[in-house]
């Protein structure tokens, strides 16, 4: 029996996925691009992708497009901690690669938040089982970080390294598009949807001690919040619309 056109396309895409041409969570070329590449209609391409979705190889989200199926990195937001701790607890091997370690003058934005003139700036790439899942930049007041080395921040988190008592943090999450630099690090396309998270951590006396920016590929990341019942004494706060 002659193979239908969509089955041929599905077979070739299956081969490319199996060969690792596209890593888990990575966006596939758009339906229009695949249509042009295979010389087929978008209806035929979509049927091929639907067949692969049935097999659990790809998935799609409205506004994102098609991407390689894979278990997303999940982060609980109900308590203060690091995502590396949560990954390790779930059996995933976390890894951090330090891309930059430098004592620098604070930018206007960082100075306004941390109220200092000089900071330690650390840029790193976080991986889960060898797959990149976050580009992270952390700014720490120089007075708190002057004894730290690159080796220190490669082996431990700032929560472990800083000699201050941490009281809590405020985390803001917003949708954005990947810059060319972040896309290269995260192995996604420039302009692909990302979640940009900013966390400001304070000491027990309310002093800001850490400012961190995390950029996560949107198709590889889920944030989870446990919501108490309406009768509970404590309720989640901080959800608001961007004006």
Q: What is the pLDDT of residues 34-48, one digit of tens each?
A: 999 999 999 999 999
Q: Is residue 23 part of a domain?
A: yes
Predicted TM-score (pTM) above 0.75: no
User: Residue 149, Cβ neighbours under 10 Å: how many?
Assistant: 10
Q: Is residue 230 part of a domain?
A: no
Q: Are residues 80 and 160 in the same domain?
A: yes
Q: Is residue 156 part of a domain?
A: yes
Q: Is residue 241 part of a domain?
A: no
The CATH number of residue 50's host domain is: 1.10.10.10
Instruction: Please state, in angstroms and rounded to a whole number, the distance separating the CA atoms of residues 188 and 132.
Output: 10
Q: Are residues 25 and 141 in the same domain?
A: no
Q: Is residue 125 part of a domain?
A: yes
What sign for the dihedral angle of Cα 73, 173, 189, 49?
positive
Last residue of a domain, one of 15, 36, 68: 68
Q: What does the chain look like in DSSP terms, one character per residue?
A: -PPPHHHHHHHHHHHHHHTTSS-TTPBPPPHHHHHHHHT--HHHHHHHHHHHHHTTSEEEETTTEEEE--PPEEEE-SS---HHHHHHHTT--EEEEEEEEEEEEPPHHHHHHH--SEEEEEEEEEEETTEEEEEEEEEEEHHHHTT--HHHHHHS-HHHHSSS-EEEEEEEEEEEE--HHHHHHHTS-TT-EEEEEEEEEEETTS-EEEEEEEEEEGGGEEEE-PPPPTTSS----------
Q: Is residue 240 part of a domain?
A: no
Last residue of a domain, one of 23, 41, 68: 68
- At residue 166, does pLDDT exceed 70? yes
Q: Is residue 27 part of a domain?
A: yes
Q: pLDDT class for 242, splitting at 50, 70, 90? A: very low
Q: Tell me what pLDDT residue 95 has.
A: 85
Q: Are residues 84 and 189 in the same domain?
A: yes
Lowest mean pLDDT segment, chosen from 76-90, 150-164, 168-182: 76-90
Q: Are residues 59 and 100 in the same domain?
A: no
Q: Are residues 97 and 199 in the same domain?
A: yes
Q: Could you list the residue range(s) of the whole structural domain that residue 42 is in?
A: 5-68
Lowest mean pLDDT segment, chosen from 18-27, 71-80, 91-100, 138-147: 71-80
The CATH number of residue 165's host domain is: 3.40.1410.10
Q: Are residues 58 and 79 in the same domain?
A: no
Q: Tell me what pLDDT residue 243 has.
A: 46
Q: Are residues 63 and 90 in the same domain?
A: no
Q: Are residues 39 and 88 in the same domain?
A: no
Q: Are residues 145 and 166 in the same domain?
A: yes
Q: Are residues 100 and 168 in the same domain?
A: yes
Q: Are residues 131 and 201 in the same domain?
A: yes
Question: Number of structural domains, the chain?
Answer: 2
Share of the chain above pLDDT 70, in %: 79
Q: Are residues 31 and 98 in the same domain?
A: no
Give the CA distances from residue 36 to residues 32, 59, 173, 189, 198, in Å, rounded to whole numbers and listed in that order: 6, 21, 36, 18, 39
């Amino acid at each position: 029996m002659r193979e239908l056109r969509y089955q041929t396309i599905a077979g070739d895409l299956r081969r490319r996925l199996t060969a690792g041409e596209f890593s888990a969570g990575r966006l596939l070329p758009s339906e229009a691009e695949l249509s042009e590449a295979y010389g087929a209609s978008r209806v035929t391409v979509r049927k091929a992708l639907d067949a692969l979705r049935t097999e659990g190889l790809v998935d799609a989200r409205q506004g994102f497009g098609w991407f390689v199926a894979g278990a997303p990195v999940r982060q609980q937001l109900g308590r203060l901690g690091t995502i590396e701790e949560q990954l390790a607890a779930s059996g995933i091997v976390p890894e951090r690669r330090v891309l930059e370690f430098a004592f620098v003058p604070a930018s206007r934005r960082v100075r306004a938040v941390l109220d200092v003139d000089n900071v330690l700036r650390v840029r790193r790439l976080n991986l889960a089982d060898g797959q990149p899942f976050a580009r992270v930049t952390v700014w720490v007041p120089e007075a708190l970080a002057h004894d730290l080395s690159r080796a220190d921040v490669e082996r431990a988190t700032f929560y472990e390294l800083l000699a201050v008592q941490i009281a809590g943090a405020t985390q803001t999450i917003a949708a954005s598009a990947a810059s060319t630099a972040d896309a290269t690090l995260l192995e996604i396309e420039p302009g692909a949807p990302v979640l940009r998270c900013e966390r400001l951590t304070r000491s027990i006396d309310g002093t800001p001690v850490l400012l961190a920016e995390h950029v996560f590929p949107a198709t590889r990341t889920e944030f989870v919040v446990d919501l108490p019942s309406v009768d509970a004494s404590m309720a989640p706060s901080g959800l608001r619309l961007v004006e």
